[in-house]
Amino acid sequence: MPIVAHNELPSFARLRDEGLTVLSPERAGRQEIRELHVGLLNMMPDAALAATERQFFRLVGESNPIAQFYLHPFTLPELARSPKAQAHIDSYYDSFAQLREEGLDALIITGANVVGPELSSQPFWEPLIEVIDWAAENVTSTLCSCLATHAVLQFRYGQQRVPQPDKIWGVFEHRVTAKSHPLVGDINTRFDVPHSRWNAVSPQQFASAGLRVLAQSDAVGVHLATSADGLRFVFFQGHPEYDTVSLLKEYKREVLLFAEGRRDDYPPFPDHYLATREQALLREYRHRLDAALAADSDLPAFPEQLIEPWLDNTWHDTAEAVVGNWMGLVYQVTHRDRRLPFMEGIDPDNPLGLA
């Protein structure tokens, strides 16, 4: 399913350079394939804004080539931005008002950084709820990532996320628990997913909300679930879109916060992510960092270039398969006029015909 570069967003060029099929509008116009318009509500902080675009665009673009994807990033004006990030948004992002008028076939909502435990007190809460309400009535399917999953569970299902004593951080094994659902068709029955969160919605809460749990972990709970109809909402509690280096970059950020005195404790390693050699390199780095801090001298360079080539990615193939299945389902049940979400003869309460 090739992506169509309908504007000059830099992520399109970067993905094309990586070998992903990205079509010009002229080339796309000559192809006899139906188009799908997918929104990306990108609420990630400035440093991760463009990387998050590429991560989700990559998963959509690697789907089976049965459609042309027009990807429409947008964000919420209530999220504070640096001048550089705001210029990027002003140049390349759509507005929610524009997308609401034109319609979307599918929507992805990312996570976001929050201050404090209560989601409903965040400045983006009310505008996010407005997007979720609109999508529930007008978009065939909305995929929610991490914090967005927690927001929908709280707002629409009355299930409040629970703070955890320790951060759920690392790469964890999961198992498919509902093999008959087409969203998990032909994927590995056991697969890994990165997680990075301080809060959780438990399996019991998903069950109480009447949701379909499709994959979960003994260690960290539910990763993949859907609304009762099987498609209207798709929930990720983990981050299958993460790049191989994403957790390393998070670890580096936390180490630098410690070095700057903005974090009290030295961060632990993400679980099940770094092998013995890489852990040894990072322990050696900590010794040199501690010595530099004690001597009030220049800090040593973080050894990411020594570590990155040795990191393993054990999740991307399954993430690609799940998102590919999701795009295929959206394609099957979406009306050619995306302002009319379901084709004639399809039950909007059970569009997949699930038992």
Please write the tens of the pLDDT for every residue from 214-231. 999 999 999 999 999 999
d(C-alpha 282, C-alpha 260), whole Å: 18
The residue from 53, 144, 146, 254 that is catalytic is 146
Question: pLDDT tens-digit profile of 307-345?
Answer: 999 999 999 999 999 999 999 889 888 876 766 666 667
Q: Global pTM?
A: 0.91
CATH 3.40.50.880 in the chain, residue ranges: 3-242+314-333
Q: Are the C-beta atoms of 330 and 106 separated by less than 8 Å?
A: yes
The pLDDT, as a whole number, for residue 30 is: 67
At 116, is the pLDDT very low, low, confident or very high (cuts 50, 70, 90)?
confident
For the purposes of burial, counting CB atoms within 10 Å of the CB of 11, is it exposed (0-12), middle (13-18) or buried (19 or more)?
buried
Of 183, 158, 107, give the one whose Cα is nearest residue 351: 183
The residue from 88, 195, 223, 239 that is catalytic is 239
Q: Are the C-beta atoms of 171 and 193 separated by less than 8 Å?
A: yes
- CATH for 3-242+314-333 is 3.40.50.880
Question: pLDDT tens-digit profile of 69-80?
Answer: 999 999 999 999
pLDDT above 90 covers what percent of the chain? 80
d(C-alpha 37, C-alpha 67), whole Å: 10
Residue 223's CB is within 10 A of a number of other CB atoms, namely: 25
**Sheet of 3-4: strands edge to edge?**
22-23, 3-4, 68-74, 35-41, 106-109, 141-145, 233-236, 221-226, 212-217, 162-176, 190-200
The pLDDT, as a whole number, for residue 32 is: 62
Q: Are the C-beta atoms of 308 and 288 separated by less than 8 Å?
A: no
User: Is 8 noted as a catalytic residue in this protein?
Assistant: no
The pLDDT, as a whole number, for residue 344 is: 67
For 77, list phi and psi in degrees, rounded to 5: -65, -15
> In this structure, what token pair is assigned to residue 100?
């609401």
Look at residue 161 and tell me whether its pLDDT is greater than 90.
yes
Residue 117's CB is within 10 A of a number of other CB atoms, namely: 12
pLDDT above 70 covers what percent of the chain? 95
The residue from 241, 254, 278, 320 that is catalytic is 241
Of 338, 348, 340, 343, give the one whose Cα is nearest residue 104: 338
